[in-house]
């Protein structure tokens, strides 16, 4: 008889974030901690992070004991792996669009940079013609692309334009500046 052992879920390492640290909040993307405050709610004092999500013009208040929803920025190695995922071949699924869309949305909202890179790769149409994509497909692509772009730009300490060039190169898209400088 085979004995089945239950594996305890590993506790995630408790991190302490400081003011001006960048963090990833899965449902909204990159944010910056603007303050660490104490709030009293129903007579209970709680320490909270105030996070500014600039892209969405949004401020979040997250209790410090609920920080499992936050993650730090990716490392340089993780960014490089995400860029290599973009270079891979797109996985074409034959399921209904509504199921694929829900799966893509779930991957984007996971906050996992590798899953976001997979969505960008899979929804990338190697053309500048938006007619090739449905509206919802384009929306999902842009959401995933923007999340990835923000993290790549901050981690590599480059501008968003340079970040776009890196992502587009990894996706195999032609960059306009490169083609306009060809000799006649």
| Domain encompassing residue 33 | 22-72
Residues 6+ apart with CB under 8 A from 123: 104, 133, 137, 140, 141, 144
CATH at residue 56: 2.40.10.170
Last residue of a domain, one of 57, 72, 87: 72
CATH at residue 87: 1.20.58.1290
105-156 pLDDT per residue, tens? 999 999 999 999 999 999 987 655 555 678 899 999 999 999 999 999 999 9
69-81 pLDDT per residue, tens? 889 999 999 999 9
The one-character DSSP state at 112 is -
- pLDDT score at 91: 86
Higher pLDDT, 158 or 94: 158
């Amino acid at each position: 008889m085979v004995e089945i052992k239950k594996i305890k879920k590993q506790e995630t390492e408790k991190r302490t974030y400081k003011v001006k640290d960048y963090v990833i909040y899965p449902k909204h993307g990159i944010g910056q901690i603007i303050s660490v405050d104490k709030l009293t709610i129903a007579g209970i004092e709680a320490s909270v992070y105030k996070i500014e999500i600039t892209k969405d013009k949004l401020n979040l208040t997250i209790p410090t004991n609920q920080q499992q929803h936050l993650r730090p920025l990716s490392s340089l190695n993780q960014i490089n792996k995400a860029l290599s995922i973009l270079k891979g071949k797109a996985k074409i699924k034959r399921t209904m669009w509504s199921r694929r869309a829900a799966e893509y949305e779930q991957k984007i909202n996971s906050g996992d940079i590798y899953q976001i890179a997979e969505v960008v790769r899979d929804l990338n149409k190697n053309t500048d013609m938006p007619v090739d994509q449905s509206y919802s497909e384009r929306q999902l692509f842009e959401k995933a692309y923007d999340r990835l772009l923000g993290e790549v730009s901050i981690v590599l300490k480059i501008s968003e334009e340079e970040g776009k060039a890196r992502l587009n190169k990894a996706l195999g898209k032609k960059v306009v500046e490169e083609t306009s400088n060809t000799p006649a």
